[in-house]
Amino acid sequence: MRAHVGLLYLLVHVLANARGQYDLCKSLVSTDEGAVWEHYACQPKAQAMKEYMRILVEPPGVTCGNPPERFCTLENPYLCSDECDASNPDLAHPPQLMQDRERSGLITYWQTVTWRRYPEPLQANITLSWNKTLELTDDIQITFEYGRPTVMVLEKSLNFGRTWQPYQYYADDCWDAFNIAPRRARDLTAANVTHVICTEQYSRWVGSKNEKVVRFEVRSRFAIFAGPRLLNMEGLYTRMESMKGLRDFFTFTNLRLRLLRPALGGTYVQRENLMKYFYAISNVEVLAR
Ligand SMILES: *[C@@H]1O[C@H](CO)[C@@H](O)[C@H](O)[C@H]1NC(C)=O
Ligand SMILES: *[C@@H]1O[C@H](CO)[C@@H](O)[C@H](O)[C@H]1NC(C)=O
Ligand SMILES: *[C@@H]1O[C@H](CO)[C@@H](O)[C@H](O)[C@H]1NC(C)=O
């Protein structure tokens, strides 16, 4: 008889040092070689949180298709034959398309109205709520079809949306948009890992097909403590407990994307064709526990 049919599991919390929720857990597992201890951290498993998030898009009416509207793309600005129509399932782009799994391989996305009201700003807020306190375990990745915004802010709330704080600024020109010096997450150090930065890395025009993702870099911040390949996660967990504000930095109950200026195709706004300016998001990936 194979030993692990009659497995003996023994769960032991090792409370040797005060590590809060990162107490080491180990279980005694009987195998063909005899009983061995398996060690792991006692904490919930990281999960893809997009399946559980509630999405609120503001202002009302910013989602395209009501009334139906034609649009074109920055790369094909004179072929404005695409249509968004909320009443036609094949042409509608509702918010839930940011969180669907796209199993069929077909990319589906939420899309806004075009910038027909220029020079009034084209802005939208996307508020993501979980009604639960979560801790990031990987980069947040937001995938934009047809170009990434030239200006946006990621905000977070720690108290279910009562108050908000900036999490990261994104702009093609940080000085111009926010009066902040541009920084890269990979240049952060242990001394300033929890600083809120403005990055220009995801906002410059590189063609809409080349780079679609805007990141909030969690892995490069973890790497400061866990090493470049994140092999020393214990080192990170120890810091999470001892360094003031570090755990809080990765913790949130809600996230908000403030889209402040759409992709412009690397040039100024061309008033004669405003149908090529809009936002479209196909995916929001949030891995957390
Ligand atoms: C987005 O939310 C902010 C508060 O975080 C608010 O000041 C702003 O008016 C909202 N923008 C839109 C377009 O609803
Ligand atoms: C949020 O969670 C609390 C407690 O778990 C529950 O009582 C409440 O109904 C939830 N609210 C929403 C909007 O889901
Ligand atoms: C963090 O510190 C490093 C090293 O001193 C520096 O290069 C980087 O610009 C700093 N970043 C911020 C956001 O202050």
Q: What is the pLDDT of residues 77-112, one digit of tens each?
A: 888 889 999 999 999 999 999 998 877 778 999 999
The pLDDT assigned to 28 comes to: 67
Q: How far is it, in rounded angstroms, from Cα 213 to Cα 148?
A: 8
Inter-residue contact 115 to 278 (CB < 8 Å): yes
Query: For a pocket test of ligand 1, which of 56, 58, 164 has the largest count of ligand atoms closer than 8 A to its C-beta?
Result: 58
The pLDDT assigned to 68 comes to: 96
Superfamily name and number for 47-288:
Galactose-binding domain-like (2.60.120.260)
Q: What is the pLDDT of residues 26-60, one digit of tens each?
A: 666 677 777 777 666 667 788 999 989 999 999 99
Instruction: Quickly count: other Cβ atoms within 10 Å of residue 202's Cβ.
Output: 22
Q: Which residue has the tokens 């064709």?
A: 273
Closest listed ligand to the CA of 132: 2
Mean pLDDT within 63-68: 97
Inter-residue contact 115 to 277 (CB < 8 Å): yes
Q: How far is it, in rounded angstroms, from Cα 265 to Cα 282?
A: 19
Domain residues of the chain, as ranges?
2-39, 47-288
pLDDT for residue 133 is more than 70: yes
192 three-state secondary structure: coil
Ligand 1 pocket member 125 (CB < 6 A): yes
| pTM across the whole model | 0.86
Q: What is the pLDDT of residues 10-31, one digit of tens each?
A: 333 333 333 344 456 666 667 7
* 197 CA closest ligand 3 atom index: 13
